[in-house]
Structure 1
Amino acid sequence: MLCVLLLISGCGAAYIAPSVEPASRNESAPVDIVVVSMTPQAIAAANASPYSPRRVPGAFGQTASVPNRADQLDLPQTPGRPVDRPTALELRVPPAVTPASYRIGISDVLLLATRAPATEAEALTGILAAQNQRQGYTVQDDGTIAIPNAGRVQVAGRTVEDAEAMVFQALVAAELDPTFSLEIAEFNSKRVSIGGAVGQPALVPITLQPLRLGEALQLAGGIVAVDQDYASIRLFRNGTLYQIPLNDFYTQSRLQRIVLTEGDAVFVDTQYELDRAQQYFTDQLALVEAENSARANVLNQLQTEFTIRREQLQEQRDNFAALTELDALERDYVYRSGELVRQSRIALPYGRVANLADAIYAEGGFDNARGNPSQIYLLRGFGTSAGVRAYHLDARNPGNLILATHMQLRPNDFIFIEEQPITKWNRVVSQFVPSLFNQAASLSTGL
């Protein structure tokens, strides 16, 4: 070992590993270094130093704009109606009708199904007739139906259930089989008239289910009004005229569910005909076309000015990018040294404050094989004094790396990562072993 040391000293060289040493350990150092552990409190104090990131030129935050010429872009108003057009239509809704059970009326057709009598052959063989006789009966003007062998039965004004009870009594009184069923085959006594601007004017019957206004209009072919703005549904009931503007009818579902009753008359009224205003519209549309042509000319002019302004902004941006690429602009930098994948100078970003993690992991980060994670430093000058503050980050615990994301960078900061002890020894060996062999060869030659 003594021989090795003598040979090393004879080489006239020694390996010097860079490291951060406070002034107390290196009194001859020209710069006083104060090592500060990187804690949340130390980071807050360091970040309190004033710093304003450089800004990109205003052209990057601007958009192409042109002079305001809204007065030249006003479109003419939509052609209106002639002077004699009606005012807004008033909504007058009829009172609600409480749905009630259907009551049979004159001209309704009832379908009576009774058991067919057994033939003599069926009676002798004991076979019962399985067929029913179905017979339709029209309610007469006196409100009755005439059932053979049972006579006339009063059914008008009664519900189906009540009519069944009356027929049952009539069959029992005539000593006939009271097994039967009764239903309404045709509803003819209660109708609502639908007319006006509909697909097919009709008399719509009221059935067992309540007849609602929307349903009745659909049964009449739907509304076919040309000008819905001035059309209305008029309902005449018991001497009173009610009115539902068509726009209200389409937008309010409650109006479509209005229950109609016997004797109602519904008329879709187009109070204002478009034919009367055809020439008026022709003149107005000609005016619109002329003014639209003038408006198109203004828009073309504005488009040209917009294109010129946009090209000017793009030229300013391209010039800035070119100067940046040529390194011809004043920039703020931080420096990376020590055991990093690539030692370099990196520019601080425009418009925001970078942090220590940004610098450590830029350009490949630090070398995990050679770098010592317990010895990561951010070196920063005190300002006018000759001192340096070294913020020490011990990243052996990866959780401490979160601190690096909070430590803000300032211009001319140095990031330094020391080497691993094994890396230092490997470098000593790699540098001095060749020298040892050379010295030994020289000694042997001299002998």
Structure 2
Amino acid sequence: MRRISVALSALALAGLMSGCSTVYRSPAVKAGVSDAGKVRVVAVTPETVLVANRAAYQPKTLPAVFQISAGSGAGASPRGLGRLPDAPSTQDGSRQGLRLDPPPAVDPGPYTIGTGDVVVLSTPSTQGTVAELSGLLAAQNSRNGYTVQDDGSINIPDVGRVRIAGLTVDEAEALLFQRLVESQIDPTFSLEISEFNSRRVSIGGAVGQPGVYPITLTPLTLGEALAAAGSVSVADIDTSSVRIYRDGTMYQIPLEDLYARSELQRLKLLADDSVFVDTDYDLGRAERYFAQQIQLQQTTLAGRRAAIDELTAALTLRRADLDEQRENFSQALELDAVDRDYVYLSGEVRTQGRYTLPFGRKATLADALFDTGGGIAKETGDASEVYVLRASDDIREFGAVTAWHLDVRNAAHLPLAARFELRPDDIVFVAENPVTRWGRTINQITPSLITAPINAVAD
């Protein structure tokens, strides 16, 4: 029996020796010169991270179609009220009793921005209201501002369309502040209205300058409106009156009462009011004037509705085109038909393979190790030997490799991984720990210890 045991031991040793040539040799990073080229190992420290990050690299970007919205470059010019129709001719009439029937006193509330208004984004610099805002908010037209278009929006470069119609100046300023912050633009600005075009009052009849006059941040009173129109010009104050058409109702203020009572002069006018100074008691001339104003407003509203429909159709088509381009790119991305930059994970990581560098930004060593659910394999990896292998771009150093070595046994070194920027074709390598290397060797030797004696006995 002793002879058989000795024989079996000898046979096992022989099998072991014969199987040694097949034992797995794990990879390792070794400094020096080899057949593959020159390898230089550099410890990762705050100083060497700065050196490594100096390597020139411009991340690939998404196609421009992902950076624009359907509203960029689109829009329609606002339709104004147009030319005011000529007022009916002045005629004299006989004196008849004029009844005072003023419109009710109303509070128009704070001014809200509307279609046709021109707003300016101004900085607190000495350059005035047309100064630049981070180089992006310079005025886009000859009036040095942004016109509120038919859909109630303004179009700001690199921000897109922002709907501000119906908002007060403070509310619009707060909304623009939020949109600028979201677009990573310095939001130091103030909002001003440089042209008031959305709220108007038409004035005709016996005035010096018939026309359409704007309502601004300060409410427009009847006395101010008549003064702006060149004041009243009548021959007989007793037969003259101011007639106001508002929301389908005609009101009347005799001129004698208007001049005698200051509260009538302070009546606040509302948007779309029509004021007519009539020298006759007969309402016919005023009615014709108001009918012209109503027809003009209806024509303007119809034009605006057509413009909005046109704009909506154009935006829908543009949005569909952008969606199709984005979908085509996404499909090409899924089919791996888009040129991308990669980093490769090797050694004792949980998932070996390639890590795709993102669009538009630089990735770090921490991204590659942890963003994909990989990380160092805790059972087999050696936390003291984490490397980033980077080949030299200099043709004179062909084959030269720099191995940036990071020891993360001390978790305080992990922030360095979050600062170390990766470059295309970098290889992230984690060496195996000594116990793993020994265990794998034993696993390969064990079959030889078993099978070698059996084969020998069989022979």
TM range (shorter): 0.5 to 0.7
Q: Which amino acid aligns with 1:306?
A: L
Q: AA paired with 2:388?
A: L
From 407, 420, 427, the equivalent of 1:414 is 427
Equivalent residue for 2:44? 38
Q: Distance in 1 between matches of 2:453 and 2:425?
A: 47
Q: Which residue of 2 aligns with 1:375?
A: 385
TM-score, length of structure 2 as denominator length:
0.54
Say if 1:66 and 1:305, in contact at 8 Å, map to a contact too. no
Q: Are residues 87 and 230 of structure 1, via their aligned partners in 2, closer, same or farther at CA, if it must alter by over 3 Å?
A: farther
1:314: how far off?
Answer: 1.4
2:77 corresponds to: 70
Distance 2:308 2:30 in 1: 71
The answer for the alignment partner of 2:160 in structure 1 is: none
Once the two structures are TM-superposed, the CA of residue 59 in structure 1 deviates from its matched residue by 0.7
Partner residue in 2 for 1:295: 304
Distance 1:7 1:391 in 2: 41
Q: CA deviation at 1:304?
A: 1.9
Residue by residue over 1:308-359, the C-alpha shift from the partner in whole angstroms, topping out at 9 and shown as x without a partner, is 2222211111111111111112111110011111101121111111111000
Give a deviation string over 1:108-143, Cα, whole Å, max 9, x none: xxxxxxxxxxxxxxxxxxxxxxxxxxxxxxxxxxxx
- What code does the residue aligned with 2:392 have? F
Q: What amino acid sits opposite 2:36 in the alignment?
A: P
Shift of 1:56: 1.2
Report the counterpart of residue 202 of structure 2 in structure 1.
80
Cα distance in 2 for partners of 1:48, 1:6 equals 55
Preserved contact between residue 13 and residue 449 of structure 2 (Cα < 8 Å): no
| CA 408–281 in structure 1, closer or farther in 2 if over 3 Å, else same | same
Give 3-state SS (helix, strand or coil) of 1:373's partner. strand
The SS at the match of 1:365 is coil
Partners of 2:391 and 2:254 in 1: how far apart? 83
Q: Is it true that 1:388 corresponds to 2:388 in the alignment?
A: no
Mean Cα deviation higher: 277-286 or 38-47 = 277-286
The count of aligned residue pairs is: 284
Q: Structure 1 pair 361/89, CA: closer, same or farther in 2 (3 Å)?
A: closer
Q: 1:370, 1:419 within 8 Å by CA — same for their partners in 2?
A: yes
- Distance (whole Å) between structure 2 residues aligned to residue 243 and residue 69 of structure 1: 42
1:359 match:
368
1:427 aligns to what? 440
2:37 is paired with a residue whose SS is coil
Runs of 5+ unmatched residues, structure 2: 1-8, 83-198, 208-221, 227-249, 269-276
8 Å contact from structure 1 (residues 60, 317) kept in 2: yes
Q: Is the 8 A contact 2:39 2:402 kept in 1?
A: yes
Q: Is the 8 A contact 1:56 1:350 kept in 2?
A: yes
Residue aligned with 1:329, SS: coil
Secondary structure in 2 matching 1:411: coil
Provide the C-alpha distance between the structure 1 equivalents of 2:265 and 2:448, rounded to a whole number of angstroms: 108
* Cα distance change of structure 1 residues 244 and 80 upon mapping to structure 2, 3 Å threshold: closer
* Contact preservation (8 Å) 2:41, 2:405: yes
Question: Deviations 1:81-130 (Å, cap 9, x if unpaired)?
Answer: 3345753299xxxxxxxxxxxxxxxxxxxxxxxxxxxxxxxxxxxxxxxx
Deviations 1:133-155 (Å, cap 9, x if unpaired)?
xxxxxxxxxxxxxxxxxxxxxxx
Distance in 1 (CA, whole Å) between partners of 2:13 and 2:42 is 37
Q: Which moved more, 1:59-68 or 1:301-310?
A: 59-68
Measure how far apart 1:364 and its partner are: 1.6
Aligned partners of 2:23 and 2:444 also within 8 Å: no
Match of 1:403 in 2: 416
Q: Distance in 1 between the 2:254 and 2:411 partners?
A: 76
Partner in structure 1 of residue 106 of structure 2: none
CA distance in 1, matches of 2:81, 2:404: 67
Q: Which residue of structure 2 aligns with residue 327 of structure 1?
A: 336
Residue 9 of structure 1 is matched in structure 2 by: 17
TM-superposed deviation, 1:378: 0.4
Structure 1: runs of 5 or more not aligned: 91-225, 249-271
Which TM-score applies when normalising by structure 1? 0.55
User: How far apart, in 1, do the equivalents of 2:292 and 2:432 lie?
Assistant: 89
1:314 corresponding residue in structure 2: 323
AA matched with 1:353: K
**What amino acid sits opposite 2:319 in the alignment?**
R
In structure 1, distance between residues paired with 2:263 and 2:317: 59
Superposition deviation, residue 445 in structure 1: 2.2
> Does 2:53 match 1:47?
yes
- In the alignment, the residues of structure 2 paired with residue 424 and residue 230 of structure 1 have an alpha-carbon distance, to the nearest angstrom, of 107
Partner of 1:165: none
Distance in structure 1 (CA, Å) of the matches to 2:225 and 2:36:
96
Whole-Å separation in 2 of the counterparts to 1:230 and 1:343 = 92
Q: Which residue is 1:208 aligned to?
A: none
Report the Cα distance in structure 1 between the residues aligned to 2:298 and 2:18, rounded to whole angstroms.
102
Query: Structure 1, residues 14-54: CA drift from partner, whole Å, max 9, x if none?
Result: 2211111111xxx5442211110001111111111111111
Q: Give secondary structure in 1 for the equivalent of 2:22.
A: coil
Aligned CA RMSD, in angstroms, stands at: 3.9
* Residue of structure 1 in register with 2:194 after alignment: none
CA distance in 2, matches of 1:75, 1:430: 90
Residue equivalent to 1:56? 62
How big is the shift at 1:403?
0.2
Question: Per the alignment, do residues 292 and 427 of structure 1 end up closer, same or farther by CA in structure 2, a change over 3 Å counting?
Answer: same
Distance between the aligned counterparts of 1:415 and 1:349, measured in 2?
A: 16
Contact 2:74–2:315 at 8 Å: present in 1 too?
no
Name the % identity: 32
Query: Whole-Å Cα distance in 1 between the matches of residues 379 and 37 of structure 2?
Result: 30
Secondary structure, aligned partner of 1:418:
strand
* Residues 280/417 of structure 1: CA separation in 2 closer, same or farther (3 Å cut): same
* Mapped partners of 2:267, 2:80: distance in 1: 29
Residue pair 1:31, 1:388 contacting (<8 A) in 2 also: yes
**CA deviation vs aligned residue, 1:373-427 (integer Å, no higher than 9, x gap):** 1111000001222110000010001110100111111000000111122211221
Q: Distance in 2 between matches of 1:245 and 1:14?
A: 106
